[in-house]
Structure 1
Amino acid sequence: MDDQQIPLDVIGVRVELPAEQPVLVLRGAAEGTQAQHVAIMVGAAEANAVAAALEGKTPPRPLTHDLLVEALTSLGGGVETIEIGLLDSQTYFGTITLAGGHTLDARASDAIAVAVRVQCPVTMDADTLAAVAVTPRFRTVSADGEETTAADPADRAPQSKGPISEAEIAEFQKFLGSAGPDDFRS
Structure 2
Amino acid sequence: MIEMKVAGIALEASTRSPIILLKDATDRRALPIYIGQDQAKAIISVLEGQTHPRPLTHDLMVNFLEAWEIEVEKVIIHSLQDNTFYAILVTKQGETRGENQSRPSDAIAIALRTNSPIWVMEEVVADASIPVDRDADEAERRAFREFISNLSPDELIQRGRFSSGEAQ
Q: 1:93 aligns with which of 76, 86, 93?
A: 86
Q: Which runs of 4+ in 1 moved over 6 A?
A: none
Gaps of 5+ in 2: 138-168
Shift, 1:150, TM fit: 4.1
**Cα distance 1:68–1:134, how it changes in 2: closer, same or farther (>3 A)?**
same
- The aligned residue for residue 3 of structure 2 is 7
- The aligned residue for residue 78 of structure 1 is 71
Contact 1:82 1:95 in 2 (8 A): yes
In structure 2, C-alpha distance between the alignment counterparts of 1:59 and 1:150, rounded to whole Å:
43
Q: 2:41 aligns with which of 37, 48, 51?
A: 48
- The aligned residue for residue 15 of structure 2 is 19
In structure 1, C-alpha distance between the alignment counterparts of 2:69 and 2:90, rounded to whole Å:
10
- The aligned residue for residue 131 of structure 1 is 127
Aligned residues: 134
**Cα distance 1:112–1:48, how it changes in 2: closer, same or farther (>3 A)?**
same
In the alignment, structure 1 residue 39 sits paired with structure 2 residue 35? no
RMSD: 1.9
- The aligned residue for residue 183 of structure 1 is none
- The aligned residue for residue 159 of structure 1 is none
- The aligned residue for residue 107 of structure 1 is 103
With the length of structure 1 as denominator, give the TM-score of the two structures. 0.66
Q: Which string of whole-angstrom CA distances, capped at 9 and with x for unpartnered residues, describes residues 46-82 of structure 1?
A: 1110111111112110010000111112214221101
Gaps of 5+ in 1: 138-148, 153-186
Q: Secondary structure at the match of 1:102?
A: strand
Shift, 1:130, TM fit: 1.2
